[in-house]
Amino acid sequence: MPDASSSPDLPDSSAAVKPASKWKIAFGPGVVITPLYPGSRELRVFPYPALDISYDDRVFSQGPDVLGLNVIRSENYHVGASLSFDFQSRQEKDDPHLHGLGNVDGGPKLKLFADYTVWAFTGSVALYQDIAGHGQGKTVVTDLYASLPAGGWLFSVGPGFTWADALYTRTFFGVSSQQSAASGLPAYNTGAGIRDVHLNGYVSYDFSKHWVGSVAVTLGRLQHFAAASPITERRSELNTLASLNYRF
């Protein structure tokens, strides 16, 4: 019997391919463009540390989701929760139009989410609950989008809408009698309902093995209580997150 170690048909164990790491790590600079406050005609731009970190598709930190967990996951679906930071806020100093309305601070929210992908189509739903006590209540965002990879490019686009509870709409779009007296705006009562309808767009490009750039854009249109509020100066909304990440 020939010596197996000398057989040319057997692979060299020293050259065996190492299993792929369960870690995926990428980070870099990012920039956020968002309304100065909900219903504002002005935009604000600020830098943002763009993170895209995950372990075994189970634990992750991505975008505004500071720390998340896919409780149930497979190649086609995810169900889980995360601690998410919401940049929505409103300060009286932002605009003379806001004097007398009081400030609304941004802060952390609990996010519960689920998504499912069939071929090139993905449906998702996410519930956001204010856990900082800033009067932002809860919102539910539902989206459907189609994705197309092309070389180093990835394109995604699709519609969605946001539902908001009565506390959220009262905080951002309602005007109480006290606020009316202080601001000069007419009193305005709100309730739960559709906050906006929107169109999502996303594009990313792999410049190299390590560098990837991406831009996510959401164009929205305020509806119902949000649209008719005396606080609202513009019904259209633009939200953008652009980043350039280095992948390890």
pTM: 0.89
pLDDT band at 11 (very low <50, low <70, confident <90, very high): very low
CA 226, chain centre distance (Å)? 20
77-82 average pLDDT score: 98
* Beta-carbon contacts of residue 157 (< 8 Å; ≥ 6 apart): 145, 146, 199, 200, 201, 202
Distance from first CA to last CA of the chain, Å, rounded?
46
CA 182, chain centre distance (Å)? 34
pLDDT band at 17 (very low <50, low <70, confident <90, very high): low
CATH class, 26-247 region: mainly beta
Rounded to an integer, what distance in angstroms lies between the CA atom of residue 117 and that of residue 119?
6
Does the pLDDT at position 3 exceed 60? no
31-45 average pLDDT score: 96
Higher pLDDT, 223 or 13: 223
2-10 average pLDDT score: 40
Token pair, residue 200, equals 């999502």
3-class SS of residue 96: helix
* Beta-carbon contacts of residue 92 (< 8 Å; ≥ 6 apart): 98, 99, 100, 101, 102, 103
**Structure confidence at residue 20 (pLDDT):** 76
One-letter-per-residue 3-state SS of 109-178 = EEEEEEEEEECCEEEEEEEEEECCCCCCCEEEEEEEEEEEEECCEEEEEEEEEEEECHHHHHHHHCECHH
Token pair, residue 149, equals 């990879």
Under a CB-based contact definition with an 8 Å cutoff, are residues 111 and 65 in contact? Answer: yes
Under a CB-based contact definition with an 8 Å cutoff, are residues 195 and 163 in contact? Answer: yes
pLDDT band at 14 (very low <50, low <70, confident <90, very high): very low
Does the pLDDT at position 127 exceed 60? yes
Higher pLDDT, 86 or 215: 215
DSSP state of 232: -
Does the pLDDT at position 1 exceed 60? no
What are the structural domain ranges in the chain? 26-247
pLDDT band at 69 (very low <50, low <70, confident <90, very high): very high
How many CB atoms lie under 10 A from the CB of residue 34? 20
Dihedral sign from CA coordinates of 240, 29, 104, 109: positive
Least confident segment among 16-30, 40-54, 141-155: 16-30
**Structure confidence at residue 15 (pLDDT):** 45
pLDDT band at 9 (very low <50, low <70, confident <90, very high): very low
